[in-house]
Amino acid sequence: MASRREFVKTSATAAAAVAAVSMVPGIVSCANKASNKLVIGTIGLNGMGMSDLNAFLRQPNVECAAICDVDQGVLNRRIVEIEEKQGKKPEMFSDYRKMLEMKDLDAVIIGTPDHWHTLMMIDACDAGKHVYVEKPMANSIYEAFQMEKAAKKYTRVVQLGQWQRSDPHWQDAFAFIQSGQLGKVRTVKVWCYEYWLVPPGPVADEPVPDGVDYNAWLGPARERPFNRNRFHFNFRWFWDYAGGLMTDWGVHLLDMALGGMNADLPNSAMSSGGKLAFLESPIETPDTQQVIYEYDDFNVIWDHAMGIGNGDWRRDHGLSFIGNNGTLVIDRNGWEVVPESNQDGPLVPEMPRVKGTGQGLDLNVKNFIDCVKANDRNTNANPTIGRAVASMAHMGNIALKTGRKIYWDAEKEEFKNDPEATAMIKPEYRAPYQLPKF
Protein backbone atom coordinates (compact mmCIF):
# COMPACT_ATOMS: atom_id res chain seq x y z
CA MET A 1 0.00 0.00 0.00
CA ALA A 2 2.77 2.46 0.89
CA SER A 3 4.56 2.05 -2.43
CA ARG A 4 1.33 2.29 -4.41
CA ARG A 5 0.26 5.33 -2.40
CA GLU A 6 3.54 7.07 -3.21
CA PHE A 7 3.21 6.17 -6.88
CA VAL A 8 -0.28 7.60 -7.09
CA LYS A 9 0.76 10.71 -5.18
CA THR A 10 3.26 11.46 -7.91
CA SER A 11 0.84 10.47 -10.61
CA ALA A 12 -1.57 13.15 -9.48
CA THR A 13 0.82 15.97 -10.26
CA ALA A 14 0.91 15.46 -13.83
CA ALA A 15 -0.30 16.48 -17.10
CA ALA A 16 0.24 14.57 -20.16
CA ALA A 17 0.20 14.41 -23.89
CA VAL A 18 0.85 12.42 -26.94
CA ALA A 19 3.29 10.63 -29.02
CA ALA A 20 3.14 11.35 -32.62
CA VAL A 21 4.90 10.45 -35.79
CA SER A 22 4.84 13.45 -38.03
CA MET A 23 3.66 13.29 -41.60
CA VAL A 24 4.93 16.84 -42.14
CA PRO A 25 7.83 17.08 -44.62
CA GLY A 26 11.11 17.77 -42.89
CA ILE A 27 10.13 16.23 -39.56
CA VAL A 28 12.43 13.36 -38.64
CA SER A 29 11.16 10.47 -36.52
CA CYS A 30 13.46 8.27 -34.46
CA ALA A 31 12.40 5.43 -36.76
CA ASN A 32 14.40 7.12 -39.54
CA LYS A 33 17.56 7.65 -37.48
CA ALA A 34 20.52 5.37 -37.96
CA SER A 35 20.85 5.02 -34.18
CA ASN A 36 17.14 4.33 -33.70
CA LYS A 37 17.43 6.35 -30.46
CA LEU A 38 14.44 8.23 -29.08
CA VAL A 39 15.52 11.67 -27.84
CA ILE A 40 13.05 13.17 -25.39
CA GLY A 41 12.40 16.26 -23.31
CA THR A 42 10.18 16.60 -20.25
CA ILE A 43 8.00 19.57 -19.27
CA GLY A 44 7.11 19.57 -15.57
CA LEU A 45 9.23 17.30 -13.35
CA ASN A 46 7.96 17.74 -9.81
CA GLY A 47 5.77 14.65 -9.73
CA MET A 48 4.42 12.31 -12.39
CA GLY A 49 6.51 13.98 -15.07
CA MET A 50 9.61 12.60 -13.37
CA SER A 51 7.97 9.20 -12.86
CA ASP A 52 7.19 9.11 -16.57
CA LEU A 53 10.74 10.13 -17.45
CA ASN A 54 12.16 7.37 -15.27
CA ALA A 55 9.93 4.88 -17.10
CA PHE A 56 11.28 6.15 -20.43
CA LEU A 57 14.88 5.86 -19.22
CA ARG A 58 14.23 2.23 -18.25
CA GLN A 59 13.60 1.50 -21.94
CA PRO A 60 16.50 0.84 -24.34
CA ASN A 61 17.79 3.53 -26.70
CA VAL A 62 16.15 6.49 -24.93
CA GLU A 63 17.99 9.69 -24.05
CA CYS A 64 16.70 12.69 -22.12
CA ALA A 65 18.18 15.72 -23.86
CA ALA A 66 16.15 18.48 -22.22
CA ILE A 67 14.10 19.27 -19.13
CA CYS A 68 11.81 22.20 -18.48
CA ASP A 69 10.18 23.51 -15.30
CA VAL A 70 9.15 26.91 -13.95
CA ASP A 71 10.67 26.03 -10.56
CA GLN A 72 14.46 26.29 -10.63
CA GLY A 73 14.72 24.23 -7.47
CA VAL A 74 12.99 21.33 -9.22
CA LEU A 75 15.31 21.67 -12.23
CA ASN A 76 18.43 21.71 -10.05
CA ARG A 77 17.33 18.57 -8.25
CA ARG A 78 16.22 16.62 -11.30
CA ILE A 79 19.24 17.37 -13.48
CA VAL A 80 21.48 15.64 -10.91
CA GLU A 81 19.18 12.60 -10.80
CA ILE A 82 19.02 12.35 -14.59
CA GLU A 83 22.77 12.64 -15.04
CA GLU A 84 23.22 9.80 -12.53
CA LYS A 85 20.82 7.62 -14.51
CA GLN A 86 22.08 8.23 -18.05
CA GLY A 87 25.59 9.61 -17.54
CA LYS A 88 24.79 12.82 -19.37
CA LYS A 89 23.24 16.12 -18.36
CA PRO A 90 20.20 17.32 -20.28
CA GLU A 91 19.77 20.95 -21.22
CA MET A 92 17.64 23.00 -18.81
CA PHE A 93 14.82 25.33 -19.81
CA SER A 94 12.31 27.47 -17.95
CA ASP A 95 10.29 28.21 -21.14
CA TYR A 96 8.93 25.11 -22.85
CA ARG A 97 8.64 26.92 -26.17
CA LYS A 98 12.42 27.30 -26.28
CA MET A 99 12.80 23.60 -25.60
CA LEU A 100 10.46 22.76 -28.47
CA GLU A 101 12.84 24.59 -30.83
CA MET A 102 15.44 21.85 -30.38
CA LYS A 103 15.75 20.16 -33.78
CA ASP A 104 16.97 16.79 -32.50
CA LEU A 105 14.14 16.37 -29.99
CA ASP A 106 11.81 13.54 -31.05
CA ALA A 107 9.25 13.55 -28.25
CA VAL A 108 8.15 15.39 -25.15
CA ILE A 109 6.57 14.30 -21.90
CA ILE A 110 4.08 16.76 -20.42
CA GLY A 111 3.87 16.43 -16.64
CA THR A 112 2.45 19.82 -15.67
CA PRO A 113 -0.77 20.74 -13.83
CA ASP A 114 -3.88 20.01 -15.88
CA HIS A 115 -4.61 23.59 -16.97
CA TRP A 116 -1.42 23.65 -19.08
CA HIS A 117 -1.96 20.38 -20.97
CA THR A 118 -3.86 21.75 -23.95
CA LEU A 119 -1.51 24.53 -25.03
CA MET A 120 1.63 22.47 -24.48
CA MET A 121 0.31 19.42 -26.31
CA ILE A 122 -0.80 21.46 -29.33
CA ASP A 123 2.44 23.49 -29.41
CA ALA A 124 4.46 20.27 -29.26
CA CYS A 125 2.51 18.72 -32.12
CA ASP A 126 2.88 21.92 -34.12
CA ALA A 127 6.65 21.74 -33.53
CA GLY A 128 6.70 18.23 -34.99
CA LYS A 129 7.27 16.41 -31.70
CA HIS A 130 5.74 13.19 -30.49
CA VAL A 131 3.91 13.71 -27.20
CA TYR A 132 3.24 11.64 -24.10
CA VAL A 133 0.76 13.62 -22.00
CA GLU A 134 -0.33 12.89 -18.45
CA LYS A 135 -3.95 12.43 -17.54
CA PRO A 136 -6.45 13.99 -17.39
CA MET A 137 -6.16 15.04 -21.01
CA ALA A 138 -7.45 18.54 -20.28
CA ASN A 139 -9.01 20.75 -17.61
CA SER A 140 -12.28 21.15 -19.54
CA ILE A 141 -14.50 19.31 -21.98
CA TYR A 142 -13.89 21.86 -24.74
CA GLU A 143 -10.10 21.58 -24.41
CA ALA A 144 -10.24 17.78 -24.53
CA PHE A 145 -12.16 17.85 -27.80
CA GLN A 146 -9.73 20.42 -29.25
CA MET A 147 -6.77 18.24 -28.31
CA GLU A 148 -8.33 15.23 -30.01
CA LYS A 149 -8.93 17.30 -33.15
CA ALA A 150 -5.40 18.75 -33.04
CA ALA A 151 -3.86 15.28 -32.88
CA LYS A 152 -5.79 14.35 -36.02
CA LYS A 153 -4.80 17.55 -37.80
CA TYR A 154 -1.12 17.15 -37.06
CA THR A 155 -1.26 13.38 -37.70
CA ARG A 156 0.62 12.70 -34.50
CA VAL A 157 0.79 9.46 -32.54
CA VAL A 158 -0.72 10.32 -29.17
CA GLN A 159 -0.37 8.55 -25.85
CA LEU A 160 -2.11 9.56 -22.63
CA GLY A 161 -0.72 8.71 -19.21
CA GLN A 162 -3.71 6.41 -18.63
CA TRP A 163 -1.29 3.54 -18.07
CA GLN A 164 -3.91 1.06 -16.87
CA ARG A 165 -4.84 0.66 -20.56
CA SER A 166 -1.49 -1.09 -21.04
CA ASP A 167 -1.63 -3.32 -17.96
CA PRO A 168 -2.55 -6.89 -19.04
CA HIS A 169 -4.86 -7.76 -16.15
CA TRP A 170 -7.18 -4.89 -17.06
CA GLN A 171 -7.22 -6.04 -20.68
CA ASP A 172 -7.95 -9.62 -19.58
CA ALA A 173 -10.85 -8.39 -17.43
CA PHE A 174 -12.25 -6.40 -20.37
CA ALA A 175 -12.18 -9.57 -22.49
CA PHE A 176 -14.02 -11.54 -19.79
CA ILE A 177 -16.71 -8.84 -19.42
CA GLN A 178 -17.22 -8.63 -23.17
CA SER A 179 -17.35 -12.43 -23.52
CA GLY A 180 -20.86 -12.36 -22.05
CA GLN A 181 -20.10 -14.73 -19.19
CA LEU A 182 -21.29 -12.20 -16.61
CA GLY A 183 -24.62 -11.99 -18.43
CA LYS A 184 -26.20 -8.60 -18.93
CA VAL A 185 -24.13 -5.97 -17.14
CA ARG A 186 -26.57 -3.39 -15.84
CA THR A 187 -24.39 -1.38 -13.42
CA VAL A 188 -20.72 -0.50 -13.10
CA LYS A 189 -19.70 0.86 -9.70
CA VAL A 190 -16.46 2.84 -9.53
CA TRP A 191 -15.02 4.10 -6.26
CA CYS A 192 -11.97 5.82 -4.80
CA TYR A 193 -11.56 6.02 -1.02
CA GLU A 194 -8.04 7.31 -0.28
CA TYR A 195 -7.21 7.71 3.41
CA TRP A 196 -3.84 9.36 2.69
CA LEU A 197 -5.46 12.15 0.66
CA VAL A 198 -6.20 14.56 3.49
CA PRO A 199 -6.81 18.13 2.27
CA PRO A 200 -4.42 20.84 3.50
CA GLY A 201 -5.34 23.35 6.16
CA PRO A 202 -5.47 27.09 5.44
CA VAL A 203 -2.24 29.06 5.01
CA ALA A 204 -1.73 32.74 4.22
CA ASP A 205 -0.72 34.10 0.83
CA GLU A 206 2.99 34.86 0.62
CA PRO A 207 5.66 36.19 -1.74
CA VAL A 208 6.57 33.97 -4.66
CA PRO A 209 9.49 31.69 -3.67
CA ASP A 210 12.88 32.42 -5.17
CA GLY A 211 13.46 30.60 -8.44
CA VAL A 212 9.75 30.16 -9.26
CA ASP A 213 8.27 31.81 -12.37
CA TYR A 214 4.79 32.01 -10.92
CA ASN A 215 3.32 33.96 -13.82
CA ALA A 216 4.39 31.17 -16.18
CA TRP A 217 3.01 28.56 -13.76
CA LEU A 218 -0.39 30.30 -13.83
CA GLY A 219 -0.30 30.46 -17.63
CA PRO A 220 -3.87 30.70 -18.97
CA ALA A 221 -5.38 30.52 -15.46
CA ARG A 222 -6.61 33.68 -13.73
CA GLU A 223 -4.12 35.82 -11.80
CA ARG A 224 -4.05 35.16 -8.05
CA PRO A 225 -1.62 35.78 -5.18
CA PHE A 226 0.83 32.96 -4.55
CA ASN A 227 -0.36 30.41 -2.00
CA ARG A 228 1.41 27.13 -1.30
CA ASN A 229 -1.90 25.29 -1.06
CA ARG A 230 -2.52 25.97 -4.75
CA PHE A 231 1.00 25.06 -5.89
CA HIS A 232 2.71 21.77 -6.76
CA PHE A 233 0.80 18.69 -5.54
CA ASN A 234 -2.25 20.48 -4.10
CA PHE A 235 -3.11 22.29 -7.34
CA ARG A 236 -5.53 19.46 -8.08
CA TRP A 237 -8.02 20.65 -5.44
CA PHE A 238 -8.70 24.02 -7.11
CA TRP A 239 -10.98 24.58 -10.11
CA ASP A 240 -8.60 26.95 -11.93
CA TYR A 241 -6.10 24.14 -12.45
CA ALA A 242 -7.89 20.80 -12.08
CA GLY A 243 -11.09 18.99 -11.13
CA GLY A 244 -10.31 17.33 -7.81
CA LEU A 245 -10.40 13.61 -7.15
CA MET A 246 -13.04 13.32 -9.89
CA THR A 247 -10.47 14.13 -12.61
CA ASP A 248 -7.44 12.79 -10.77
CA TRP A 249 -8.17 9.18 -9.79
CA GLY A 250 -11.51 9.39 -11.55
CA VAL A 251 -9.93 9.55 -14.99
CA HIS A 252 -7.92 6.38 -14.30
CA LEU A 253 -10.85 4.40 -12.90
CA LEU A 254 -13.71 5.70 -15.04
CA ASP A 255 -11.51 4.90 -18.03
CA MET A 256 -11.67 1.27 -16.97
CA ALA A 257 -15.48 1.45 -16.89
CA LEU A 258 -15.42 2.78 -20.46
CA GLY A 259 -12.93 0.12 -21.52
CA GLY A 260 -14.89 -2.73 -19.96
CA MET A 261 -18.19 -1.57 -21.45
CA ASN A 262 -16.65 -0.39 -24.75
CA ALA A 263 -18.37 2.98 -24.24
CA ASP A 264 -17.82 6.68 -24.84
CA LEU A 265 -19.65 9.62 -23.22
CA PRO A 266 -22.89 8.98 -21.32
CA ASN A 267 -26.32 10.33 -22.19
CA SER A 268 -26.66 12.14 -18.88
CA ALA A 269 -25.12 12.74 -15.48
CA MET A 270 -26.31 13.83 -12.06
CA SER A 271 -24.18 14.38 -8.98
CA SER A 272 -24.23 15.13 -5.28
CA GLY A 273 -21.48 15.94 -2.79
CA GLY A 274 -19.24 18.74 -1.61
CA LYS A 275 -16.91 19.60 1.25
CA LEU A 276 -18.59 17.37 3.81
CA ALA A 277 -15.66 16.20 5.93
CA PHE A 278 -12.90 18.83 5.86
CA LEU A 279 -14.82 22.05 6.36
CA GLU A 280 -11.80 24.15 7.39
CA SER A 281 -9.73 23.25 4.36
CA PRO A 282 -9.43 25.91 1.63
CA ILE A 283 -9.83 23.35 -1.18
CA GLU A 284 -12.59 24.06 -3.71
CA THR A 285 -13.24 20.59 -5.13
CA PRO A 286 -15.42 18.14 -3.16
CA ASP A 287 -13.94 15.80 -0.58
CA THR A 288 -17.03 13.60 -1.02
CA GLN A 289 -18.90 13.06 -4.28
CA GLN A 290 -21.21 10.64 -6.07
CA VAL A 291 -22.16 10.72 -9.76
CA ILE A 292 -24.64 8.60 -11.70
CA TYR A 293 -23.90 8.37 -15.43
CA GLU A 294 -26.70 7.04 -17.63
CA TYR A 295 -26.13 5.08 -20.84
CA ASP A 296 -28.69 3.43 -23.10
CA ASP A 297 -28.75 0.12 -21.21
CA PHE A 298 -26.51 0.46 -18.15
CA ASN A 299 -25.42 2.97 -15.50
CA VAL A 300 -21.98 3.91 -14.16
CA ILE A 301 -21.87 5.06 -10.55
CA TRP A 302 -18.85 7.03 -9.26
CA ASP A 303 -18.18 7.43 -5.51
CA HIS A 304 -15.19 9.13 -3.87
CA ALA A 305 -14.13 10.11 -0.38
CA MET A 306 -10.93 11.78 0.82
CA GLY A 307 -9.37 10.84 4.14
CA ILE A 308 -10.91 7.36 4.55
CA GLY A 309 -9.91 4.11 2.90
CA ASN A 310 -12.65 1.53 3.33
CA GLY A 311 -14.53 1.48 0.03
CA ASP A 312 -16.63 -1.20 -1.64
CA TRP A 313 -15.44 -4.79 -1.22
CA ARG A 314 -13.09 -3.46 1.51
CA ARG A 315 -10.86 -1.92 -1.15
CA ASP A 316 -9.72 1.69 -1.28
CA HIS A 317 -10.30 1.83 -5.03
CA GLY A 318 -11.79 -0.35 -7.73
CA LEU A 319 -14.68 -1.24 -9.99
CA SER A 320 -17.45 -3.83 -9.89
CA PHE A 321 -19.13 -4.87 -13.13
CA ILE A 322 -22.48 -6.19 -11.95
CA GLY A 323 -24.05 -8.71 -14.33
CA ASN A 324 -27.01 -11.08 -14.13
CA ASN A 325 -24.69 -14.08 -13.74
CA GLY A 326 -22.04 -12.57 -11.50
CA THR A 327 -19.92 -9.57 -10.56
CA LEU A 328 -16.37 -8.91 -11.68
CA VAL A 329 -14.42 -6.95 -9.06
CA ILE A 330 -11.14 -5.33 -10.10
CA ASP A 331 -8.50 -2.91 -8.87
CA ARG A 332 -4.84 -2.28 -9.62
CA ASN A 333 -3.84 -5.41 -7.72
CA GLY A 334 -6.00 -7.87 -9.69
CA TRP A 335 -9.51 -9.10 -10.45
CA GLU A 336 -11.92 -11.88 -9.53
CA VAL A 337 -15.45 -13.01 -10.29
CA VAL A 338 -18.15 -13.44 -7.63
CA PRO A 339 -20.94 -15.65 -9.10
CA GLU A 340 -24.67 -15.30 -8.71
CA SER A 341 -26.36 -18.60 -7.90
CA ASN A 342 -29.70 -20.34 -8.30
CA GLN A 343 -31.02 -23.76 -7.28
CA ASP A 344 -28.65 -25.40 -9.75
CA GLY A 345 -25.55 -23.65 -8.40
CA PRO A 346 -23.30 -20.79 -9.61
CA LEU A 347 -24.35 -19.10 -12.84
CA VAL A 348 -20.73 -18.44 -13.79
CA PRO A 349 -17.68 -20.43 -12.68
CA GLU A 350 -15.67 -18.89 -9.88
CA MET A 351 -12.45 -17.45 -11.24
CA PRO A 352 -9.18 -17.70 -9.33
CA ARG A 353 -7.87 -14.23 -8.55
CA VAL A 354 -5.87 -12.80 -11.45
CA LYS A 355 -3.04 -10.62 -10.15
CA GLY A 356 -1.89 -7.37 -11.71
CA THR A 357 1.64 -7.03 -13.05
CA GLY A 358 2.50 -3.73 -11.39
CA GLN A 359 4.17 -2.80 -14.69
CA GLY A 360 1.44 -0.67 -16.23
CA LEU A 361 3.45 2.53 -16.51
CA ASP A 362 6.46 0.85 -18.09
CA LEU A 363 4.21 -1.03 -20.51
CA ASN A 364 2.39 2.17 -21.45
CA VAL A 365 5.68 3.91 -22.20
CA LYS A 366 6.88 0.91 -24.21
CA ASN A 367 3.65 0.99 -26.22
CA PHE A 368 4.25 4.67 -26.98
CA ILE A 369 7.80 4.05 -28.14
CA ASP A 370 6.77 1.05 -30.25
CA CYS A 371 4.06 3.13 -31.92
CA VAL A 372 6.50 5.95 -32.66
CA LYS A 373 8.90 3.53 -34.32
CA ALA A 374 6.11 1.86 -36.30
CA ASN A 375 4.38 5.12 -37.33
CA ASP A 376 1.26 3.71 -35.64
CA ARG A 377 -1.09 6.32 -34.16
CA ASN A 378 -3.34 3.71 -32.55
CA THR A 379 -1.72 3.75 -29.12
CA ASN A 380 -3.26 1.95 -26.15
CA ALA A 381 -4.35 5.29 -24.67
CA ASN A 382 -4.96 7.44 -27.72
CA PRO A 383 -6.55 10.94 -27.82
CA THR A 384 -10.07 9.61 -28.37
CA ILE A 385 -9.76 7.47 -25.24
CA GLY A 386 -8.30 10.42 -23.34
CA ARG A 387 -10.95 12.84 -24.55
CA ALA A 388 -13.80 10.49 -23.63
CA VAL A 389 -12.88 9.91 -20.00
CA ALA A 390 -11.65 13.46 -19.30
CA SER A 391 -14.96 14.79 -20.63
CA MET A 392 -16.89 12.22 -18.60
CA ALA A 393 -15.14 13.29 -15.40
CA HIS A 394 -15.71 16.99 -16.10
CA MET A 395 -19.35 16.21 -16.84
CA GLY A 396 -19.67 14.83 -13.31
CA ASN A 397 -18.29 18.06 -11.87
CA ILE A 398 -20.58 20.19 -14.02
CA ALA A 399 -23.57 18.17 -12.82
CA LEU A 400 -22.46 18.83 -9.24
CA LYS A 401 -22.08 22.57 -9.84
CA THR A 402 -25.49 22.92 -11.50
CA GLY A 403 -27.23 20.68 -8.97
CA ARG A 404 -29.34 18.95 -11.61
CA LYS A 405 -29.32 16.19 -14.17
CA ILE A 406 -27.58 17.27 -17.36
CA TYR A 407 -28.00 15.71 -20.81
CA TRP A 408 -25.23 15.44 -23.39
CA ASP A 409 -25.71 16.31 -27.08
CA ALA A 410 -22.97 14.34 -28.84
CA GLU A 411 -23.60 15.97 -32.22
CA LYS A 412 -23.30 19.54 -30.94
CA GLU A 413 -20.68 18.75 -28.27
CA GLU A 414 -22.72 20.60 -25.64
CA PHE A 415 -25.51 19.99 -23.13
CA LYS A 416 -29.11 19.85 -24.28
CA ASN A 417 -31.29 22.87 -23.47
CA ASP A 418 -28.96 23.92 -20.66
CA PRO A 419 -27.04 27.16 -21.34
CA GLU A 420 -25.63 27.26 -17.81
CA ALA A 421 -24.10 23.79 -18.05
CA THR A 422 -22.90 24.41 -21.61
CA ALA A 423 -21.13 27.59 -20.46
CA MET A 424 -19.01 25.44 -18.12
CA ILE A 425 -17.64 23.37 -21.02
CA LYS A 426 -15.20 26.07 -22.13
CA PRO A 427 -12.70 27.87 -19.86
CA GLU A 428 -11.73 31.52 -20.02
CA TYR A 429 -8.05 32.03 -20.76
CA ARG A 430 -6.11 34.89 -19.20
CA ALA A 431 -4.63 37.31 -21.74
CA PRO A 432 -2.48 36.99 -23.78
CA TYR A 433 -3.17 33.23 -23.94
CA GLN A 434 -5.57 32.11 -26.66
CA LEU A 435 -7.97 29.20 -26.35
CA PRO A 436 -7.30 26.98 -29.42
CA LYS A 437 -9.99 25.95 -31.87
CA PHE A 438 -9.81 23.22 -34.51
What are the pLDDT digits (tens) for 301-325?
A: 999 999 999 999 999 999 999 999 9
SS3 347: coil
Please determine, for residue 139, whether its predicted confidence score (pLDDT) is greater than 60.
Answer: yes
Domain assignment of residue 249, yes or no: yes
**Which residues are CB-contacts of 60 (< 8 A; sequence separation ≥ 6)?**
none
More confident residue, 1 or 288: 288
Which pTM does this prediction carry? 0.91
Residue 33 has what pLDDT?
57
Q: Are residues 331 and 311 in the same domain?
A: yes
What are the pLDDT digits (tens) for 96-107?
A: 999 999 999 999
Q: Which secondary-structure segment (H or E) carries 391? A: helix 383-402
Domain assignment of residue 213, yes or no: no
Q: Are residues 302 and 372 in the same domain?
A: no
Residue 156 has what pLDDT?
82
Please determine, for residue 58, whether its predicted confidence score (pLDDT) is greater than 60.
Answer: yes
Give the pLDDT band (50/70/90) at residue 35: low
Q: Are residues 61 and 187 in the same domain?
A: no
Q: Are residues 70 and 177 in the same domain?
A: no
Q: Are residues 280 and 370 in the same domain?
A: no
The CATH number of the domain holding residue 365 is 3.40.50.720
Q: Are residues 401 and 305 in the same domain?
A: yes
Helix 383-402 to helix 141-153 angle (10° resolution) is 160
Please determine, for residue 11, whether its predicted confidence score (pLDDT) is greater than 60.
Answer: no
Residue 7 has what pLDDT?
31
CA 204 to chain centre: 30
CA 294/CA 188 separation, integer angstroms: 11
Domain assignment of residue 395, yes or no: yes
Q: Are residues 19 and 51 in the same domain?
A: yes
Could you give the number of structural domains in the chain? 2
What are the pLDDT digits (tens) for 233-291?
A: 999 999 999 999 999 999 999 999 999 999 999 999 999 999 999 999 999 999 999 99
Q: Are residues 267 and 328 in the same domain?
A: yes
Q: Quick check: 245 and 9 in contact, CB under 8 A?
A: no
Q: Are residues 6 and 32 in the same domain?
A: yes
Average pLDDT over residues 156-171: 94
Domain assignment of residue 305, yes or no: yes
Edge-to-edge strands, sheet with 107-110: 91-93, 62-68, 38-43, 107-110, 130-133, 158-160
Q: Taking all residues of the chain, what is their mean pLDDT, rounded to a whole number?
A: 91
Q: Are residues 192 and 337 in the same domain?
A: yes
Domain assignment of residue 74, yes or no: yes
Please determine, for residue 2, whether its predicted confidence score (pLDDT) is greater than 60.
Answer: no
SS3 153: helix
Q: Are residues 374 and 395 in the same domain?
A: no
For residue 301, give its domain range.
Answer: 169-200+231-356+390-423
CA 26/CA 103 separation, integer angstroms: 11
Q: Are residues 193 and 323 in the same domain?
A: yes
Residue 19 has what pLDDT?
29
